[in-house]
Amino acid sequence: MTKREKYMKKKYLSDVNSLQRISITGAGGFIGQNLVRYLLNTGKYKLVLNYLSEKEIPVYIKKSPLCKIIAGNLADIRICRKLLKDTEILVHLAQSVNPKKYEQSFDKSLLFNAEPTFNIFNLLIEAKNKIHLIFPSSGGTLYGINNSSCKETESPNPISPYAVQKLMMEDYIKLINKLNKNITANILRISNPYGTLLNQERGQGFIGIAINNILHNRPIQVWDDINSIRDYIYTDDLCEAFIKSFNHKKDVEIFNIGSGTGTSLKQIISVLENIYGQKVKYKILKTTRRFCAKKNILNIDKAKKTLKWNPKVSLITGISKIIK
């Protein structure tokens, strides 16, 4: 290696080390994968990424000089300490509970996430350095079964064990901030994110699963009510909301993150038919689920005003991006 090459390498490493350091748990999950890819594309962040196992880690992540990998279960406090060391921002995405799978199981919805999250929380209480926490909560299950303009100021009305757990974590975060002023946090109550193809076995993410079923000539599965209305947000818009929240550090604040627009499952199927230029097959399945919102639309005025964030991708454009 020439002196010039050595100098350039040293300068590059110095530039990398000067980037804002962000730790992300659950980097292998749906939101985690999209957020990591989006942040790397900006070139503005040095990422410390937690994956549950080595098999979750994409090759491009292993090769990136902007990524440090800490693989392992957050139930191991040593993994949590490594993740929080010298970090400026912690995005805590790790979640073992699928809201659909465990929505009627009170014990599983609590136990699967409790130990890893409380390990993180206990370390935050003791933190001597300033850490800004970004915590994804549930905009789709905290506001009751029929709400057309959910605001952050409304009294929560959780409709499932999963939602109760999210609300409990929100309260713990507020308590952590009271106990340790080194910790600030933004709680993002996220609607229904979409942006990639998803397997039907996942059981969550209607748009991604529906498109995947069409591609494999399988009927779209609609549970119970084809007229149920949800708020859908494209992953790029969601990632921008995360970035905007990185620099808003005022104790603990809650923000709804969605499109602010309601769309029924029937309307989504209609959009798919218009894009494909043909009828698509679907079947309505009955279920015994007791915890299912009929209408859920988030009011996102606070995020627009405070974070200077605004979703840009329409539902038609977002779905077209997935198909193309």
Mean pLDDT, the chain, whole residue set: 89
Residue 50 scores a pLDDT above 80: yes
pLDDT higher at 158 or 236: 236
Q: So what's the pLDDT on residue 110?
A: 61
pLDDT higher at 322 or 149: 322
User: What pTM was computed for the model?
Assistant: 0.91
Q: Residue 146 — very low, low, confident or very high, per pLDDT cuts 50/70/90?
A: confident
Q: How far apart are CA 306 and CA 313, in angstroms?
A: 20
Place of tokens 């995405």: 93
Q: Residue 322 — very low, low, confident or very high, per pLDDT cuts 50/70/90?
A: very high
Q: So what's the pLDDT on residue 185?
A: 98
Residue 178 scores a pLDDT above 90: yes
Of 154-163, 208-217, 254-263, 308-317, least confident by mean pLDDT is 154-163
Residue 236 scores a pLDDT above 70: yes
> Is the domain covering 14-193+234-258+297-312 a CATH 3.40.50.1000 domain?
no
Q: So what's the pLDDT on residue 136?
A: 97
What mean pLDDT is predicted for residues 80-89? 95
- The greatest distance separating any two alpha carbons of the chain, rounded to the nearest whole angstrom, comes to 70
Q: How far is CA 105 from CA 191, 279, 304, 314, in A?
A: 22, 37, 36, 35
Residue 8 scores a pLDDT above 90: no
Q: How far apart are CA 216 and CA 208, in angstroms?
A: 13
Helix (H, G, I), strand (E, B) or coil at 234: strand
Q: How far apart are CA 115 and CA 236, in angstroms?
A: 31
Q: How far apart are CA 145 and CA 158, in angstroms?
A: 9
Q: So what's the pLDDT on residue 6?
A: 47
Residue 14 scores a pLDDT above 70: no
Interval 53-73: pLDDT, tens: 999 999 999 999 999 999 999
pLDDT higher at 188 or 164: 188
